[in-house]
Structure 1
Amino acid sequence: MKTYLRDQVDWKQPFPAEEYAVRRAKVRKALTDSSLDAIFVTTPANITWLTGYDMIWYHLQNLTGVLVRADSDDTVFFDSSAHTTIISTTPEISQVVYVDAAAVSGTVDESISAIVGGIADKGLSGGRIGLELWGYAPHASVMEALAGALRKGGATVEDHWTLVEKQRFVKSDLEVQHVRKAAEIADLAMATARDAIRPGIMETEIEGVLMGTMMKAGGGYPGIRSMIGSGPRSGTHHSSPTRRQIKQGDLVFVDFCGCYDRYHVNVNRTFSVGEPDPRWTNLMTTAAGCIDAIVSELKLGDSLSKVDAVAQRYTDESGIREYVWWVGGYAQEIALPPDWCGNHWLNPRFDIGDPPIQPGMVFNLENQFDVWEDWPGGSGCAYIESLLVTENGLEVLSKLPRTLVTV
């Protein structure tokens, strides 16, 4: 670490040191509750949440990680020396063990050896160590090799890939401020994109408007590329923008996240270039009531899955089930590419549980539709809202109408 660089940090950090200390304490308590001595954190979003470290290249052999111990607030950061400058300008990193990343200068075996040695130096070679075996980086074979090396050294290794994420789900007051800023940026970008939509503009140009607006507002790149589709592509949902030019009469869906210090808020809106077929208007107007039903019915302490149950019941009772591509949602979290979806889904999966909703939780609710009846203008439509749980119940973060908007 180059301490002279740390002395030159002259830009505002995402959070003060006290915030990171609280996060470490939450993880340490979870370790104790799970009878673990430590966890080696490798999930990129978890690393950022614990340290503020924001690095872009989590390749398949990358073993960047943070060792968090149950018995001490003494964390150790492991990374390639190729990232010395990033590490040196991340104030929350205090101890570093440099490993040689395979794609830079060394081998995976060398990285694993350095990590096992660093863990042993903390007296944990025979301890119970948690690993995050389910994640985007590194590759499963690399994690299996690390687990094997730790076991060979005498450690008991267990998969605890959800341990840190469970601590992230309920956000602090400072995190909620970041969420609100991300929502503000998202609305600004969506409104600017809406105003740019016209016949002749390419979908990729709309993406340029989104990204330019967010960056000028102090935002960042979202964890997933923006999804934009027009005309026959308006029902593609998970598609990136193309060079297709917008035409009069098209439906255009725009789906992205506002991002601020890696905190994400998802918003999706559908626009009509000129007056739409009234069936599109009716579908979107009916679907918009799903959010109203959720906000009015959900109360603090209700299970997360009740949000989904209310959404599904509304969809059935309103008579639009036949057009559903997906109605559902998931946690909105701190996130890094290639994803922004938290693992707490409204219809629980991954054995992560079905917690009661409480202030500080953030999740989205999607209403996405395919229409195979050749309605003029497109092949589908959608909206997505993100909701913040407050002391007063659920708050819709976007201020923009979720009905079909004519441009």
Structure 2
Amino acid sequence: MNEYPFSIEEYQARLSRVRERMAELTIDALLVTVPENIFYLSGYRTTGYYVAQCLVIPLAGDPYFVVRNMELSNVKTLSWLKDGYPVPDIANFGDELASRIRDITEKGSRIGFEEQGFFLPSALLATIRNSLVDRKLVPTSGIVEQARKIKSLQELAYMSMAAKAADAGMEAGLEAIVAGRTENHVAGAAYLGMMLAGSEYPSSSPYVVTGPRSALGHSTSERGVVKRGDVVYLEIGGCWFRYGAAIIRTVSVGRPTSELQKAADTALGALNAMLDFAKPGVSSGAVDAVGRGIVERAGLAKFWPHRAGYSIGIGFPPGWGEGHIIDLKPQDPRILEAGMTFHSVPVIYIPGLGAVGFSETWTVTSAGAQVLTNTARKLIAI
């Protein structure tokens, strides 16, 4: 018998929470197309989500999948929900999905769909809408995400394993940094270290960039050669049953300059302050303000253009973040609760120098922030 990542009871509780919200919004059926949400509710996972797929959740009755024919094996093997309708490659997915919806709903039914996800193309939505003119399609993004906001003990256990894999990848990457090697060499070592520690394929490849080019947002390895005097930026994310944990560290190749040391001390100060401050009952904006204030007082605010952090948990490529669930950002009034998980990312991007930053993945507990990642939190000089 297949062992699922979570107990059937936990999956059933998740489904019940989603249906409670559906009832509040008078939604008769929900079309779940976001891969992370499908996985959260069922355990189904595939790299083939670039082709349309849907988990249909009626307010009453059994949920079922509408997926590409070759993906039905994943429904039968990986999901605790076994009902699935296979769509042949020669068929129109939108027509097939609309037909299945018509079978289980009545005229006038309200059909919810995830309008903010990446995986419901406008052409597919138009096909469904044109086929269901006697039903009302209602944008309902956020129903499943709100259920995902607070992690269970088992989810936190998987994130702890992902954090250990991220640390292993980071340590391997740090050991590989030598002047004259390419950033690809370092990234490869980090990836290997992470995978040897048990990680699945990550939701984003390791970010390893050397020199001033690292100051470009989300820059990736492009065969740059590590040089003495460079800043090397590393961001590694491990994955365990699709749950992620990420970590950032900065390396100075040679003795750090005063500019680099100041930026590193500032980023570390911001990260430490946020971790010390975070606890249930404080707002997202207040956590951001604690870290951002340190950067502002150092005169480096213009080099920190982004949010202070974001929810992290379930991830499929292209990213491990759950910022659409909750961010840590200026003036955000939303309140932290025990069981939330975040990746705090105070990174200072200085043109001509590079990216200087540090991060941790952590969870909110009754006692404050509990950090899951564990690589030495300091500017590393080699």
TM-score by length of 1: 0.87
1:82-104 C-alpha deviation (Å, 9 max, x unpaired): 2232222124132111223xxx3
* 1:22 paired residue number: 13
Q: Mind listing any 5+ residue stretches in structure 2 that lack a counterpart? A: none
Task: Provide the C-alpha distance between the structure 2 equivalents of 1:125 and 1:383, rounded to a whole number of angstroms.
Answer: 54
In the alignment, which of 67, 90, 107 is matched to residue 78 of structure 2?
A: 90
Using the TM superposition, give the Cα deviation of residue 79 of structure 1 relative to its aligned residue in structure 2, in angstroms: 0.6
Do residues 64 (structure 1) and 53 (structure 2) align?
yes
Letter in 1 for 2:225: Q
Paired residue secondary structure (1:332): strand
Q: Distance in 1 between matches of 2:281 and 2:329?
A: 16
1:322–1:85 Cα change, 3 Å? closer
Aligned equivalent of 1:126? 108
1:323 lines up with 2:298 in the alignment: no
Structure 2 counterpart SS, 1:89: helix
CA positional deviation for 1:324: 2.5
2:190 maps to 210
Distance of 1:354 and 1:58 partners within structure 2: 34
Matched AA of 1:307: V
Secondary structure at the aligned position of 1:220 is classed as coil
Alpha-carbon separation, structure 2, partners of 1:44 and 1:146 = 19
- Per-residue CA deviation, residues 170-228 of structure 1 (Å, 9 max, x unaligned), is 11111011111111111111011101111222111222112212222221222223222
The aligned counterpart of 2:181 is 201
Aligned Cα root-mean-square deviation (Å): 2.1
Question: Cα distance 1:124–1:364, how it changes in 2: closer, same or farther (>3 A)?
Answer: farther
The structure 2 residue matched to 1:54, chosen from 22, 42, 45, is 45
> Alpha-carbon deviations, 1:266-289, whole Å to 9, x = none?
211111122111321222112211
Give the counterpart of 1:313 among 276, 293, 302: 293
- 1:398 Cα deviation (Å)? 2.0
- Maintained 8 Å contact 1:185/1:259: yes
How do 1:367-382 and structure 2 match up within 5 A?
Answer: 367-372=346-351, 374=352, 378-382=353-357
Q: Indicate conservation of the 8 Å contact 1:366/1:383, yes or no.
A: yes
The answer to whether the aligner puts 1:113 opposite 2:95 as a matched pair is yes
Cα distance in 2 for partners of 1:324, 1:123 equals 50
Whole-angstrom distance in 2 between the partners of 1:243 and 1:16: 44
Q: Measure, in 1, the Cα distance between the counterparts of 2:281 and 2:342.
A: 15
Q: Distance in 2 between matches of 1:46 and 1:125?
A: 27
Q: Confirm or deny: 8 A CA contact 1:301 1:356 kept in the other structure.
A: yes
For residue 283 of structure 1, what is the aligned residue in structure 2?
263
Could you tell me whether the CA contact under 8 Å between 2:307 and 2:330 is conserved in 1? no
* Partners of 2:106 and 2:205 in 1: CA distance: 40
- 1:401 corresponding residue in structure 2: 376
Distance 1:257 1:288, change over 3 A: same
Q: Is this contact kept in 1: 2:268–2:357, CA < 8 A? A: no
- Is the contact between residue 279 and residue 364 of structure 2 (CA under 8 Å) also seen in structure 1? no
Q: Deviations over 1:353-389 (max 9, x none)?
A: 85321111111221122224x5xxx333222222211
Query: Aligned residue for 1:250?
Result: 230
**C-alpha distance in 2, partners of 1:289/1:384?**
11
Rounded Cα–Cα distance in structure 2 between residues aligned with 1:88 and 1:40: 20
Kept after mapping to 2: 8 A contact 1:385/1:396: yes
In structure 1, C-alpha distance between the alignment counterparts of 2:216 and 2:196, rounded to whole Å: 29
2:381 aligned with 1:390: no
Does the 8 A contact of 1:81 with 1:98 survive in 2?
yes
* Number of aligned residue pairs: 380
Q: Contact between 1:327 and 1:368, CA under 8 Å: does it hold in 2?
A: no
- The answer to whether structure 1 residue 356 and structure 2 residue 344 are counterparts is no
Distance 1:211 1:276, change over 3 A: same
Contact kept in structure 2, 1:281 and 1:403, CA below 8 Å: no
CA distance in 2, matches of 1:118, 1:258: 38
Alpha carbons of structure 1 residues 278 and 348: separation in structure 2 relative to 1, 3 Å: closer
Contact 2:171 2:190 in 1 (8 A): no
TM-score (norm 2): 0.93
Is 1:139 equivalent to 2:121 in the alignment?
yes
| Aligned equivalent of 2:345 | 366
Partner of 2:165: 185
The 3 A distance-change label for structure 1 pair 266 and 400 is same
Using a 3 Å threshold, how does the CA distance of structure 1 residues 345 and 144 change in structure 2: closer, same or farther?
Answer: farther
**Pair 1:189–1:202, CA change in 2 (3 A):** same
Gaps of 5+ in 1: 1-6
The CA deviation at 1:30 is 1.2
Partner amino acid, structure 2, of 1:71: A
Paired residue secondary structure (2:346): strand
Tell me if structure 2 keeps the 8 A contact 1:230–1:253: yes
Q: Aligned residue for 1:259?
A: 239
Q: Taking every aligned residue pair, what percent have the same amino acid on both sides?
A: 28
For residue 66 of structure 2, what is the aligned residue in structure 1? 78
